[in-house]
Amino acid sequence: MRFSSPAGSPGGSRNAAILALCQGLFTCAISIDLTLTALTGWQLAPDKALATLPFALITVAGAVVTWFAAFLIQRLGRRWSFVLGAASCCAGGLISVWSVWHGQFWTFCVGTALVGVFQAFAQYYRLAAADAVAEAAKSRAISTVLAGGVIAALVGPALAAWSKDWFPAALFAGAYLVVALMGLLSVVVLVLFYRDQAEPSTAAQSQAELAPARPLSAIAHTPVFMASVANNVAGSMVMMFIMTAAPLAAVACHHGIDDGAAIIQWHLVGMYAPSFFAGRLIQRCGLGPVLLAGLGMNLGCAIIAMLSTTLPAFYVALLLLGVGWNFMFVGGTTLLAQSYTPSERAKTQGLAELMRYAATALATLGAGPLLARFGWETLNAAILPVLLVSALATLRWMWAQRGGRTALAAGLR
């Protein structure tokens, strides 16, 4: 079932631009935390076996909160829910500064967990932009929000390197102060400029909203929801799986540590730069072909990585991985926004994001051990079944769409 509307609300495009700015601030904050938290944890941990716990808590807290965030957004509205998420980043950054300054490991864990809470709320920026516009404009609204991460993805690690030595008596404290500042700026932008928008509606959609909300199990079995989750989950899982292992694999293949960092920067460009045109590409070529193109690029990444371990092969493979993720993520989110009525939004979005978070966390945790045990080529081969499942779900949705159009055309004759 699809729910469409011919026109977006007047402030939809303005809100998308504001959320793009917030996405940029979020990406800066989270990239600083992801760059330095493992090192800070090693510095503060009373037992070095606990050194990665603060890093893991970013993902764990995000996964736990994401389900509840969907219902809080429904209750409080997007504006104040997003403000609450950004305020948690500010608090988390300040707690991290205090913890580093005083050498307190466990309060540092609280600080990184609060940044994970911010991450959970920020994941709904793209969905908020999609919900405020017509179906034809959803992919462009999602792309606009993700485009906010392009510069931030590259600036964030540089900010971390620049600010970590601000306070010589407390290494890394300056960087976490910047994290707090990113959260504070997000609060200011959201309070001053963002406004909740009434969703566009048609007579058909208004009639659908009068019907009882479907059970979550019924929504989850629709082709559109299954295709959306398959692309969002598979795209994010594969991306994190390969990206996490790539720097380690590059060093193991006798490339330099700096080469590993440069490969990831190139990958980040691939992840976010297509956001400037992915929405228009979907409008021009169709959602199905763009999703399949994203899957094809992920397949290309795996094939290149299995055939060669030269430095150019790493660059090309990780670039294809980034672009493929973008196409699958923008397309999958567009499908997700078509899969529910407003009364079904919270539980549908919450389930989809929880599944994505859980799969991403498993991929992140499993990449290192699998790389060490089986090697880079086998690691890339392992993503092929995941891509196959996603392709089958996408083709099933495309077939259902084609069948629906054929039935409609027959009824008009």
pLDDT tens-place string over residues 307-322:
999 999 999 999 999 9
User: What pTM does this model have?
Assistant: 0.79
Given pLDDT bands bounded at 50, 70 and 90, which one contains residue 198?
low
User: ∠ CA(178), CA(59), CA(156), 5° rounding?
Assistant: 30
Integer CA distances (angstroms), 152 to 12, 26, 299, in order: 23, 8, 27
User: Mean pLDDT across the chain, nearest whole number?
Assistant: 86
Distance CA 160, CA 46 (A): 24
Given pLDDT bands bounded at 50, 70 and 90, which one contains residue 6?
very low
Q: Is 166 helix (H, G, I), strand (E, B) or coil?
A: coil
The whole-number pLDDT of residue 22 equals 95
b/e sequence 109-136, b meaning 16+ C-beta within 10 Å: bbbbbbbbbbbbbbbbbbbbbbbbbbbe
Distance CA 79, CA 101 (A): 33
Of these ranges, 222-231, 356-365, 367-376, the one predicted with the greatest mean pLDDT is 222-231
Q: Can you say whether the dihedral through the CA atoms of 201, 207, 210, 216 is positive or negative?
A: negative
The whole-number pLDDT of residue 404 equals 61
- Domains of the chain: residue spans and CATH: 10-199 (1.20.1250.20), 216-413 (1.20.1250.20)
Helices 278-285 & 311-337, crossing angle to 10 degrees?
70
Using an 8 Å Cβ cutoff, are 42 and 51 in contact? Answer: yes
pLDDT digits (tens, 9 = 90+) for 32-78: 887 788 778 888 989 877 887 887 788 889 888 998 999 999 899 99
Residue 398, amino acid: M
pLDDT digits (tens, 9 = 90+) for 281-305: 998 999 999 999 999 999 999 999 9
User: ∠ CA(72), CA(74), CA(77), 5° rounding?
Assistant: 90
Given pLDDT bands bounded at 50, 70 and 90, which one contains residue 357?
confident
The whole-number pLDDT of residue 241 equals 87
The whole-number pLDDT of residue 1 equals 37
The whole-number pLDDT of residue 208 equals 53
DSSP readout, 46-81?
Answer: SSGGGTTHHHHHHHHHHHHHHHHHHHHHHHH-HHHH
Is residue 410 predicted with pLDDT exceeding 70? no
Distance CA 272, CA 267 (A): 9
pLDDT digits (tens, 9 = 90+) for 134-171: 888 888 888 888 888 877 777 877 787 788 888 888 88
Given pLDDT bands bounded at 50, 70 and 90, which one contains residue 7?
very low
Integer CA distances (angstroms), 186 to 34, 43, 85, 175, 213, in order: 19, 29, 9, 17, 34
Distance CA 315, CA 265 (A): 10
